[in-house]
């Protein structure tokens, strides 16, 4: 049981380049999330998905797109990277039961945009 995995672990981009971050979970969770974590800012929700084929905006969605074509995968895309998107990105998955949503996090992807 791998839990939540993220690919890649590290990446350096130049301004204007594009990339896709992959999140995969093997727990059959319905819900998946993408967060970014910046020093002093805590975790901010970018986008989330409540099931295969669905996506929704979070707190800071601008500059990012997502897709959930398969239940186990949640992709985060940066079409034209900017230095402000330098951050650590975390993916999480969860299932909701009885009003409780406990999240399981991946190890993170460190992205630097030059």
Partner 1 sequence: SQQGEEDPQALSIQEGENATMNCSYKTSINNLQWYRQNSGRGLVHLILIRSNEREKHSGRLRVTLDTSKKSSSLLITASRAADTASYFCAPSGGSYIPTFGRGTSLIVHP
Which residues of the shown chain bind partner 1 in the complex (CB under 8 A)?
A: 4, 31, 33, 35, 40-43, 45, 48, 90, 92, 96, 99-108
Nearer to partner 1, 64 or 90 (CB): 90
Q: Minimum distance from CB of 22 to partner 1 (Å)?
A: 15
In angstroms, the CA 29 to CA 64 distance is 22
Q: Minimum distance from CB of 40 to partner 1 (Å)?
A: 7
Question: What's the distance, CA 78 to chain centroid?
Answer: 11
61-68 contacts, C-beta under 8 A, 24 or more apart: 64/34, 66/34, 68/32
Nearer to partner 1, 86 or 103 (CB): 103
In angstroms, the CA 32 to CA 50 distance is 7
Q: Minimum distance from CB of 79 to partner 1 (Å)?
A: 25
């Amino acid at each position: 049981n791998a839990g939540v995995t993220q690919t890649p672990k590290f990446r350096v981009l130049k301004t204007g380049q594009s990339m896709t971050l992959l999140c995969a979970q093997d727990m059959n969770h319905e819900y998946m999330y993408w967060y970014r974590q910046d020093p002093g800012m805590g975790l901010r929700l970018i986008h989330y998905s409540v099931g295969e084929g669905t996506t929704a905006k979070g707190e800071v969605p601008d500059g990012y797109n997502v897709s959930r074509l398969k239940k186990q995968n949640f992709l985060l895309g940066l079409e034209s990277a900017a230095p402000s998107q330098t951050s650590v990105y975390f993916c999480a998955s969860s299932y909701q039961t009885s009003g409780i949503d406990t999240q399981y996090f991946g190890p993170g992807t460190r992205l630097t945009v030059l």
